[in-house]
Amino acid sequence: MSDNIILPSRLYDNSIVDYETMLNLYQDMLLGRNFEDMCAQMYYRGKMFGFVHLYNGQEAVSTGVIKALDNTDYVCSTYRDHVHALSKGVPASLVMAELFGKETGCSHGRGGSMHIFSAPHNFLGGFAFIGEGIPVATGAAFQSVYRSQVLNESKAIRVTACFFGDGTSNNGQFFECLNMAVLWKLPIIFIVENNQWAIGMAHNRSSSSPEIHKKAASFGLPGIEVDGMDVLAVRKVACQAIHRARQGEGPTLIEALTYRFRGHSLADPDELRSRQEKEAWLARDPITSFKNYLLSNSITNQSIIAEINAKVKKEVDNAIEFALSSPEPEVKDLKRYLFAEDL
């Protein structure tokens, strides 16, 4: 990584975000952060296992995009999916129970950290392989168009938000789906969370053309670059993309420049990233910045912030209690859910 770290400028735009929403955005980011920190604790205490990929640092992207969606819209994620699920409304208790492998988990303990699914929340997964969720998201978007044009359903077009990382932007499925999404004007938003690293592979070392949003032009869709540490900036571009999609104007590619404060997964020693680089990004913590923004502009006060902090802490504590006290799946149910007939 070069010594010149060029950071995008901040742009706050509070002209269309009301007070209630501001607080919800703050609370959602805080929930994501606290939840992930608790996951790390629980992992080291032997309550969750395997590959766990935490989202710390990227909260502005999840909150900024997903809180601009309706409940009936779809979100499709990757293995770094806990916080996307929380932003989409999947209860923290169900996600935590899933991570503990319990029967009460949203995937009944069959999926684990990389496979959070929730049909009631239109959360389409949770995928372990890089890129394999992008076609699935494209299919959900195709279904929206089909319902409107073939089944003549008159309800509003349901939009799909598809998240993936910088490493994935070199994968064939990414390009194949950009093509199809533009071809059929699908109501899908492709969000690249460019956190500069794919495990130990720096983005510049794997990508001949590192500015991912510019690749959109080759396919004929808008490619927007946004400061991924600024929740209002992310929300602004997300709203524009959602509007485009609902109007039938097709897909948008959003490249959110962000950073993960922890390693790729809890198994990653994270030795390749320089201390200087980490400190530069930690200084731009999206939650701290947003809190400072709210306070310094007198949008809210310390006691409201403290209330929200307490509320979120309680929610996470309740999730732990629920997960701890939930039963494990029974071995007699080993083959359950294999086929549609196995209910």
Residues in touch with other proteins (CB under 8 A): 74, 76, 105-111, 115, 117-119, 124-129, 132, 134-143, 145-147, 149-151, 172-173, 176-177, 179-180, 183, 336-343
**C-beta closer to other proteins: residue 172 or 269:** 172
Q: Please report, as a single letter, which amino acid is at residue 55.
A: Y
Minimal distance, residue 89 CB to other proteins, in Å: 15
Minimal distance, residue 258 CB to other proteins, in Å: 25
**C-beta closer to other proteins: residue 85 or 226:** 85
| CB of 60 closer than 8 Å to CB of 51 | no
**C-beta closer to other proteins: residue 3 or 342:** 342
**C-beta closer to other proteins: residue 20 or 341:** 341
Minimal distance, residue 159 CB to other proteins, in Å: 12
Helix axes 302-325, 19-44, angle to 10 degrees: 40
**C-beta closer to other proteins: residue 30 or 130:** 130
What is d(CA 68, CA 42) in angstroms, rounded to the nearest whole number?
31
**C-beta closer to other proteins: residue 160 or 252:** 160
| CB of 212 closer than 8 Å to CB of 226 | no
Token match 């999730």: residue? Answer: 319
Task: List 21's β-bridge partners, or say none.
Answer: none
Minimal distance, residue 112 CB to other proteins, in Å: 9
**C-beta closer to other proteins: residue 30 or 76:** 76
HEC string of 278-332 equals: HHHHHCCCHHHHHHHHHHHCCCCCHHHHHHHHHHHHHHHHHHHHHHHHCCCCCHH
Minimal distance, residue 90 CB to other proteins, in Å: 11
Token match 């790729």: residue? Answer: 264
For 199-236, b/e burial (b = at least 16 CB within 10 A) is: eebbbeeebeeeebbebbeebebbbbbbbbbbbbbbbb
| CB of 86 closer than 8 Å to CB of 313 | no
What is d(CA 314, CA 310) in angstroms, rounded to the nearest whole number?
6
Minimal distance, residue 275 CB to other proteins, in Å: 38
Alpha helices (runs of H) in the chain, residue ranges in sequence order: 19-44, 59-66, 82-87, 92-99, 133-149, 172-183, 203-206, 216-219, 231-246, 275-282, 286-296, 302-325
Secondary structure (3-state) at 137: helix
For residue 328, give the nearest of 62, 53, 47, 78 by alpha carbon. Answer: 47
**C-beta closer to other proteins: residue 13 or 70:** 70
What is d(CA 263, CA 197) in angstroms, rounded to the nearest whole number?
10
What is d(CA 238, CA 235) in angstroms, rounded to the nearest whole number?
5
Minimal distance, residue 150 CB to other proteins, in Å: 5
Minimal distance, residue 19 CB to other proteins, in Å: 35
Minimal distance, residue 148 CB to other proteins, in Å: 10
